[in-house]
Amino acid sequence: MKIGVLGWDYGEMDPDAPCLVEAGRERGHEMALFTLEELAYTPGAKGGLNIEVGGHDAESFDAIISRAKLYGDDWQDRVERLTLLSKVPGLRLFDPAEVWVRGYSKFLTAQKLAEAGLPTPPVRSAVTLAEVETAWKEWGATIVKPSFGYRGVDVERVTDFPTQTAVVEELLARYGTLVCQPYYPTQYGEYRITVAGEVTPINMLKLPAAGSWRCKTLEGASFEYFEAPPELQELAVRAARVMGITLAGLDILPTEDGYIILEVNPIPGFLNIFGPERHQQTLHGVFDWVEKQVSQP
């Protein structure tokens, strides 16, 4: 098959895109690497647009695996580009624009998972201080964050609303709409399960730094590999399939009432974090899934 990899870049920020290209070549596929900026449009023979990517006619590919970035100041242009690529006749895109937008959106993620009967936190929207206060009065400690975002940016915990109004006002001014969710204790850590097609090669336990509630490695949280029990792996794979994401990083919190799915991230990175064997299992898990889907009528 002819398979493209739509990378974040050529390896500086996304070293896994070139690795996917190499894994595909090892499996006998004709591979190409390009970025979202390399999409070009020319007049189509029957009107409309002909789409080229990296100098190739997009229709010449059997499949494209996307690791493209959608957020940033130019997000409208990037979403438009991926949407146009998603509509190319005969091309299987893993994953199309609607899937990526759903993964970035906290509201769409919560709705999709809840519709499938999967465990997610209760959610409220807030566009005013009063609406955040309503959530805090209902739940006590409350998480507030942007409705559309990535990497845990601007996620705050409101434990005493009257003394934290300035923080909330700043977030409202910056984003307009916030997601409110009840805070669940994190002292026992948070699981990150990476799903590649139908397998989960990379499973880690993240533990917050002393005195912190955030299970974010960039803010001092520690992490270690652990053998995820079958029910946790099955939950993660099911959630990834419900969301339609081929390669997903799921943040799942253990609570007294069972697992809670916090995030289903469409661009998990650091795929080689636990060594070359699990890295290769992840890459080939993606290709196992892509080949299976393309071969189906």
Domains defined along the chain, listed by start: 2-94 (3.40.50.20), 103-119+186-287 (3.30.470.20), 124-182 (3.30.1490.20)
As a whole number, mean pLDDT of residues 269-288 equals: 94
Residue with tokens 């299970």: 215
Q: How far, in Å, CA of 197 to CA of 216, rounded?
A: 25
**Kind and range of the H or E run holding 172:** helix 165-175
| Interatomic CA distance for residues 48 and 187, integer angstroms | 55
pTM of the prediction? 0.93
Tell me the Ramachandran region of residue 51: left when phi exceeds 0, alpha when psi lies from -120 to 50, beta otherwise. Answer: beta
Q: pLDDT band for position 150 (50/70/90)?
A: low
In the predicted structure, residue 151 carries a pLDDT above the cut 90: no
- Read off the pLDDT of residues 183-237 as tens digits, 9 standing for 90 and up: 999 988 999 999 999 999 999 999 998 889 988 887 888 999 999 999 999 999 9
Q: Which DSSP letter does residue 47 get? A: B
pLDDT bracket for residue 176 (50, 70, 90): very high
For 253, other C-beta atoms within 10 Å of its C-beta total 20
Structural contact between residues 166 and 211, judged by C-beta atoms closer than 8 angstroms: no
Q: CA-to-CA distance for 86 and 97, rounded, in angstroms?
A: 6
Distant-in-sequence contacts of 160-165, Cβ < 8 A, 24+ apart: 161/132, 161/133, 161/136, 161/137, 165/129
Instruction: Specify the pLDDT at position 152.
Output: 65
Residue 244 corresponds to which tokens in the numbers above? 């339609």
pLDDT bucket at 259, cuts 50 / 70 / 90: very high
The mean pLDDT value for 152-171 works out to 94
Dist. CA 86–CA 237, nearest whole Å: 23
List of E strands, 122-220: 124-126, 142-146, 156-158, 178-182, 190-196, 199-207
Q: Are 42 and 52 in contact (CB under 8 A)?
A: yes
Query: Which tokens sit at 180?
Result: 């409110």
